[in-house]
Amino acid sequence: MEVFLENLISYSILIIISSLVFYFYTRRKNISTKLTEEKISKAKEDGLYEPVSLHPVINLDTCIGSGACVSACPEKDILGLKNGKASVINASRCVGHGACFNACPVQAITLCIGTEKRGVELPHVNSNFETNIPMVFVAGEIGGMGLIKNAVEQGKQAVKYIVEKLTREENSIHDLIIVGAGPAGISSALEAKKNNLNFLIFEQDTIGGTVANFPRQKIVMTSPMDLPLHGKVKLFETSKSELIELWNSIIKKNNITINQLEKVISINKEKSSFFVETNKGKYESKSILIAIGRRGSPRKLGVTGEEKEKVFYRLLEPELIRNSKIVVVGGGDSAVESALLLAQNKNEVTVSYRNETFSRLKPMNVQRINEAVDSSRIKVVFNSNVVEIKEKSILLKYDKDKSVEEIENDLVFIFAGGELPTKFLESVGISITKKFGEPLLSNSKN
Ligand SMILES: Cc1cc2nc3c(=O)[nH]c(=O)nc-3n(C[C@H](O)[C@H](O)[C@H](O)COP(=O)(O)OP(=O)(O)OC[C@H]3O[C@@H](n4cnc5c(N)ncnc54)[C@H](O)[C@@H]3O)c2cc1C
**pLDDT exceeds cutoff 50 at 433:** yes
Q: Check pocket membership of 211 for ligand 1, CB cut-off 6 A.
A: yes
Q: Check pocket membership of 48 for ligand 1, CB cut-off 6 A.
A: no
Indicate the top mutation candidate among 153, 292, 294 to test ligand 1's pocket, ranked by most ligand atoms within 8 A of CB: 292
Which letter does DSSP use for residue 304 in this model? Answer: B
Using the atom order of ligand 1, give the atom closest to the CA of residue 210: 29
**Measured in whole angstroms, how far is the alpha carbon of residue 179 from the centre of its chain?**
17
Using the atom order of ligand 1, give the atom closest to the CA of residue 141: 26
Q: Pick the range with the lowest mean pLDDT from 63-67, 260-264, 295-299.
A: 295-299
Residue 381 DSSP SS3: strand
What stretches of 216-314 show up as alpha helix (H) in DSSP? 240-253
Q: How far is CA 412 from CA 123, 350, 384, 394, in A?
A: 35, 10, 15, 9
| Rounded Cα gap, residues 93 and 297, in angstroms | 20
Q: Per DSSP, what are the bridge partners of residue 55?
A: 112
Q: Check pocket membership of 351 for ligand 1, CB cut-off 6 A.
A: no
**pLDDT exceeds cutoff 50 at 446:** no
CATH numeric code, 2-120:
3.30.70.20
Boundaries of every domain in the chain: 2-120, 125-296+421-430, 311-417
Write down the pLDDT at residue 444. 53
| Rounded Cα gap, residues 179 and 210, in angstroms | 14
Using the atom order of ligand 1, give the atom closest to the CA of residue 221: 8
**Does domain 125-296+421-430 bear CATH number 3.40.50.2000?**
no
First to last CA, the chain: 56
**pLDDT exceeds cutoff 80 at 216:** no
**pLDDT exceeds cutoff 50 at 60:** yes
174-204: b (≥16 Cβ within 10 Å) or e:
bbbbbbbbbbbbbbbbbbbbbbebbbbbbbb
CB 313 within 8 A of CB 332: no
Nearest CA to ligand 1 atom 9: 221
**pLDDT exceeds cutoff 60 at 326:** yes
**pLDDT exceeds cutoff 60 at 322:** yes
CA 102, 103, 109, 112 dihedral sign is: negative
**pLDDT exceeds cutoff 80 at 172:** no
Q: 60 or 216: which carries more pLDDT confidence?
A: 60
| Rounded Cα gap, residues 246 and 119, in angstroms | 36
| Rounded Cα gap, residues 84 and 32, in angstroms | 9
Q: Select 311-417's CATH number: 3.40.50.300, 3.50.50.60, 3.60.15.10, 3.30.420.40.
A: 3.50.50.60
Q: Check pocket membership of 263 for ligand 1, CB cut-off 6 A.
A: yes
Q: Pick the range with the lowest mean pLDDT from 127-136, 208-217, 242-251.
A: 208-217
What percentage of the chain exceeds 90 in pLDDT? Answer: 66
Indicate the top mutation candidate among 53, 210, 246 to test ligand 1's pocket, ranked by most ligand atoms within 8 A of CB: 210
**pLDDT exceeds cutoff 90 at 244:** yes
Using the atom order of ligand 1, give the atom closest to the CA of residue 148: 11
Q: 21 or 63: which carries more pLDDT confidence?
A: 63
Q: Which amino acid is at 181?
A: A
CB 285 within 8 A of CB 173: yes
Nearest CA to ligand 1 atom 45: 180
Matching fold, domains 2-120 and 311-417: no
CA of 67 to the centre of ligand 1 (A): 29
Number of H helices and E strands in the chain, helices first, is: 9, 29
CA of 52 to the centre of ligand 1 (A): 15
Q: Read off the pLDDT of residues 69-122 as tens digits, 9 standing for 90 and up.
A: 999 998 889 999 999 999 999 998 888 888 899 999 999 999 998 888 888 899
